Amino acid sequence: MTQTNSRLFDEVARLMSDAAGAANGIKKEIDSVVRGQAEKVLRDLEVVSREEFDAVKAMAQKARAENEALAERIAVLEGKAGSPGRSRAAATAKKAGAAKSAKAKTTQAKARTRTTRSSKSQTQSD
């Protein structure tokens, strides 16, 4: 009877190991199907990959650093332009801006005068 029990246990053990191997294969198959579906959903949602995100983030950081460097450079150049040895073009531009400002003020004053005259004539005609 000992040999019969031993054979029975050997068969049960073999069946259990086969079942474990089959379960492991099923698990791998399910994992690959779920991963494929998840990737499809993410692709349809147009979600970016981590690598693309990191690349764009690095580009943005580089652009920000360059922007700050250029802002500092502009500030230095504007500081030089504001010194007594200012260029002739900057002086001419300033004079032209002042002339435009004066002309605009004159135009506004004339418009106010017209408005005042038309208001007085309307009150006199009433």
pTM comes to 0.37
pLDDT band at residue 1 under the 50/70/90 scheme: very low
CA 100/CA 6 separation, integer angstroms:
110
47 and 38 Cβ atoms separated by less than 8 Å: no
Q: Tens of pLDDT along 70-81? A: 999 999 999 988
Q: Tens of pLDDT along 5-25? A: 788 888 888 888 888 888 888
pLDDT band at residue 105 under the 50/70/90 scheme: low
CA angle 54, 55, 58 (to 5 degrees): 85
7 and 1 Cβ atoms separated by less than 8 Å: no
Dump the DSSP string for the chain.
Answer: -HHHHHHHHHHHHHHHHHHHHHHHHHHHHHHHHHHHHHHHHHHHTTPPPHHHHHHHHHHHHHHHHHHHHHHHHHHHHHHHHTSTT--HHHHHHHHHHHHHHHHHHHHHHHHHHHHHHHHHHHHHH-
Which amino acid makes up residue 74? I
Provide, rounded to the nearest whole percent, the portion of the chain with pLDDT above 90. 33
Q: What's the pLDDT score for residue 56?
A: 96
The mean pLDDT of the chain is 78
CA angle 71, 61, 72 (to 5 degrees): 15
CA 36/CA 29 separation, integer angstroms:
11
Q: Tens of pLDDT along 16-60? A: 888 888 888 899 999 999 999 998 988 888 888 899 999 999 999
